[in-house]
């Protein structure tokens, strides 16, 4: 292990390379540009490809095209670019193309404040593209987690054939921290699933009850069709209700079956607590501090840091909150994930702590919410 | 050139697992372009595993599903951007992008010019039927000035793009134009385009008799086909014409055939990767 000083954006890029990422397409945007810059430098050193496309729509399209060609592919952007990518993220969800999209959140809406942090894209990451589809969204709260969760993002995207979104924010992306990265990164390398069947039997969208059909790259003798239209198991367009229904059921169930692997979180001091703070990303750092201050004042406060935001960890919240009377949800938006917490909170009181002005939530703000709740 | 009868050639390239008939109206030119592409590929003796056909949205967007290549039907206007990613991941693959005029030049215009500027090794085949056929005859970037369209009930007031000339200006090394009437010529240009290392463009001028043709009372499919024959001239013939005379004509032929521009994926490998690895070592 060697200790290095690096930015969250850099750690995201290094995590991607450790996971085997060999394709990056992107467009410059604050505060995500550093990811592209590191990739432009590092990818060609490992025979990978970096390309700066003409816009974010093209970037997302190129990522999908490269993934279909067998690459471990990603892009990185921020709010305005993330909005532009939505249609093609939906295509990746529909065609089940593995890919990773890092969104380093800045204050929105619109151009907003490009150099200020925010957590305003939580709902967009889930529902930004039209139509019902599953998605995985991961959210780091430190530089080291930017590395680790990027590796996880590639692992999940390939294993479950789905786009995975990383929600960083301006602070996590730009902040420098001392990190110890694993010396041996070979174990982190993500491989694409293979198939044992010959081309004539291969169904790229097969309705397997318990597994995900592997995506064989173009050019390897398995000639098939991919479309954003609803399609049958072979990938041909369909209008048949039973085939459309089977697709929807399968893509939802493949993620549901994987919840025990996909739901990442850290909990601390929940057993003795009557109050629970649920936080994620940059706000989790303030929340952690607030929890410690409250405990020093004799309060029984549990802490749950979510690293996976979507699929929403309902059961994790339900279990953690078993003996809890009050839940506090600090986030740098006007209450997005709190909506989900409220949905599963039952009769427990939920207090939102919000800020959407480009400034970080202070620990004192969360502390006063803890103390003010009866 | 192969001597097999045409129907046999098509049989080896059409997907038997895909249910026919196709989505196109009787008399449509898109099937003619598909036939020309298939025969062009056959004449080049390409391995089907090494061919990808990528499309966007619209009538032409439905083309790849019928053929036994690696095929992808993407989002509206973005086929070239998807194909760029695929080509970079698989540089040895022959990547053919099929688009309509709306797909390639309106919503996808940005990707079209940048692919030409970048000179990435894709073949773009644009079926120019002067309208949005699938949605019912709205005006496109190539709808003739003064024509009526379902969204131009009082006549179209916008000048149109000349697709092939635009591609030349944007830097594409191989650009040709033909029509769905001149099938043998079209096939020849497509084969030449696929053989080009860099970004190649073939504009296949067509028509839409069920939407724009009907709205403008331009007649049935055979009438519109006849117009392609009578209203087109070769590049050589056009050279002798005045600018005013040329305006009303479809100019057929090879508009650009340059060998002096390096192809992008090759350049990337030779310059970027080599340099990056040298720096690392």
Q: What is the ipTM of this complex?
A: 0.97
**Using a CB-CB distance cutoff of 8 angstroms, which residues of chain A are in contact with residue B111?**
54, 58, 61
Q: Considering CB atoms only, which of B70, B86, B92 is closest to A66?
A: B86
* pLDDT for the residue B1: 47
- A interface with B, Cβ–Cβ < 8 A, is 23, 25, 41, 43-45, 47, 49, 51, 53-55, 57-59, 61-71, 73, 87-88, 91, 217-221, 223-229, 234, 236-237
What fold, for B6-280? Rossmann fold (3.40.50)
What pLDDT band is residue B280 in, cutting at 50, 70 and 90? confident
- pLDDT, tens only, A357-373: 999 999 999 999 999 87
- pLDDT, tens only, A218-266: 999 999 999 999 999 999 999 999 999 999 999 999 999 999 999 999 9
Flag if B114 and A54 touch (Cβ within 8 Å): yes
- pLDDT, tens only, B215-227: 999 999 999 999 9
Q: Are B40 and B187 in contact (CB under 8 A)?
A: yes
- pLDDT, tens only, B118-144: 999 999 999 999 999 999 999 999 999
Mean pLDDT of A164-178: 98
**Using a CB-CB distance cutoff of 8 angstroms, which residues of chain B are in contact with residue A88?**
75, 78
**Using a CB-CB distance cutoff of 8 angstroms, which residues of chain B are in contact with residue A51?**
84, 88
Flag if A44 and B73 touch (Cβ within 8 Å): no
- pLDDT, tens only, B26-62: 999 999 999 999 999 999 999 999 999 999 999 999 9
**Using a CB-CB distance cutoff of 8 angstroms, which residues of chain B are in contact with residue A87?**
75
Q: Are A327 and A278 in contact (CB under 8 A)?
A: yes
Flag if B72 and A25 touch (Cβ within 8 Å): no
Q: What are the structural domains, with CATH classification, of chain A?
A: 2-188 (3.40.50.970), 265-372 (3.40.50.920)
Q: How far does the CA of residue B112 sit from the closest CA of chain A (Å)?
A: 10
The single-letter DSSP state of residue A130 is S
The answer to whether residue B281 scores a pLDDT higher than 90 is no
- pLDDT, tens only, A10-49: 999 999 999 999 999 999 999 999 999 999 999 999 999 9
Cβ of A33: how many Cβ atoms within 10 Å?
18
Q: What percent of chain B has pLDDT over 90?
A: 92
Give the residue from B57, B77, B85 with the most A CB atoms within 10 Å of its CB, the best one to mutate. Answer: B85
What pLDDT band is residue A179 in, cutting at 50, 70 and 90? very high
Burial of A90: CB neighbours in 10 Å, binned 0-12, 13-18, 19+: buried
User: Which of A105-109, A117-121, A196-200, B192-196 comes out lowest in average pLDDT?
Assistant: A196-200
Mean pLDDT of A131-157: 98
Give the whole-angstrom CA distance, residue A77 versus residue A9: 11
* pLDDT for the residue B269: 96
Where are the domains positioned within chain B? 6-280
Compute CA distances A67 → A157, A234, B82, B88, whole Å.
11, 19, 10, 10
Give the residue from A219, A224, A228 with the most B CB atoms within 10 Å of its CB, the best one to mutate. Answer: A219
The answer to whether residue B2 scores a pLDDT higher than 60 is no
What pLDDT band is residue A209 in, cutting at 50, 70 and 90? confident
């Amino acid at each position: 292990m060697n200790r290095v000083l690096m930015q969250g954006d850099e750690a995201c890029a290094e995590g991607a390379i450790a996971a085997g990422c060999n394709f990056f397409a992107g467009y410059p945007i604050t505060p995500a540009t550093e990811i592209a810059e590191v990739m432009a430098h590092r990818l060609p050193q490992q025979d990978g490809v970096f390309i700066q496309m003409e816009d974010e729509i093209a970037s997302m399209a190129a990522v999908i095209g490269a993934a279909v060609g067998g690459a471990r592919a990603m892009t990185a952007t921020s709010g305005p670019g993330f909005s532009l990518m939505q249609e093609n993220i939906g295509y990746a969800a529909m065609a089940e193309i593995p890919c990773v999209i890092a969104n380093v959140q800045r204050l929105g809406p619109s151009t907003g404040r490009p150099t200020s942090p925010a957590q305003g894209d939580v709902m967009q990451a889930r529902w930004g593209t039209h139509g019902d589809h599953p998605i995985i969204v991961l959210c780091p709260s430190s530089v080291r987690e930017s590395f680790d969760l990027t590796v996880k993002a590639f692992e999940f995207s390939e294993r479950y054939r789905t786009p995975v979104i990383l929600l960083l924010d301006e602070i996590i992306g730009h902040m420098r921290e001392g990190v110890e990265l694993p010396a041996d990164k070979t174990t982190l390398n993500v491989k694409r699933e293979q198939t044992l069947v010959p081309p004539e039997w291969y169904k790229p969208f097969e309705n397997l009850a318990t597994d995900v059909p592997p995506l064989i790259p173009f050019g390897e003798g398995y000639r098939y069709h991919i479309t954003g239209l609803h399609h049958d198991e072979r990938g041909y367009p369909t209008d048949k209700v039973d085939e459309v229904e089977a697709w929807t059921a399968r893509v939802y169930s493949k993620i549901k079956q994987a919840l025990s692997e996909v739901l990442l979180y850290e909990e601390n001091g929940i057993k003795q607590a009557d109050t629970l703070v649920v936080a994620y990303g940059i706000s989790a750092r303030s929340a952690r501090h607030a929890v410690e201050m409250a405990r020093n004042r004799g309060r029984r406060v549990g802490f749950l840091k979510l690293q996976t935001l979507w699929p929403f960890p309902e059961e994790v919240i339900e279990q953690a909150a078993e003996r809890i009377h009050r839940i506090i949800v600090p986030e740098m938006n006007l209450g997005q994930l709190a909506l989900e917490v409220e949905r599963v909170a039952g009769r427990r009181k939920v207090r939102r702590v919000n800020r959407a002005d480009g400034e970080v939530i202070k620990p004192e703000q969360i502390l006063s919410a803890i103390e003010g709740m009866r | 050139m192969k001597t097999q009868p045409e129907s046999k050639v098509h049989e080896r390239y059409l997907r038997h697992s895909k249910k026919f008939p196709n989505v196109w109206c009787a008399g449509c030119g898109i099937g003619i372009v598909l036939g020309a592409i298939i025969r062009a590929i056959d004449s080049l003796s390409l391995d089907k595993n090494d061919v990808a056909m990528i499309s966007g949205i619209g009538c032409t967007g439905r083309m790849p599903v019928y053929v036994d290549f690696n095929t992808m039907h993407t989002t509206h206007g973005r086929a070239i951007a998807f194909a760029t990613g695929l080509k970079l991941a698989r540089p040895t693959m022959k990547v053919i992008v099929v688009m309509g005029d709306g797909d390639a030049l309106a919503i996808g215009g940005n990707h079209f010019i940048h692919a030409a500027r970048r000179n990435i090794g894709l073949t773009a085949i644009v079926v120019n039927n002067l309208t949005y056929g699938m949605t019912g005859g709205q005006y496109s970037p190539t709808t003739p000035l003064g024509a009526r369209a379902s969204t131009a009930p009082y006549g179209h007031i916008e000048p149109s793009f000349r697709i092939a000339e635009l591609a030349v200006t944007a830097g594409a090394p191989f650009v040709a134009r033909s029509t769905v009437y001149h099938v043998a010529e079209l096939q020849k240009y497509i084969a030449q385009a696929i053989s080009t290392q860099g970004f190649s463009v073939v504009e296949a001028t067509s028509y839409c008799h069920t939407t724009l043709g009907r709205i403008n009372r331009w007649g049935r499919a055979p009438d519109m086909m006849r117009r392609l024959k009578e209203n087109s001239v070769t590049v050589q013939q056009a050279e002798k014409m005045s600018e005013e005379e040329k305006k009303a004509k479809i100019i057929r032929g090879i508009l650009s055939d340059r060998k002096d521009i390096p192809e992008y994926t090759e350049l990337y490998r030779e310059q970027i990767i080599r340099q990056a690895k040298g720096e690392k070592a």
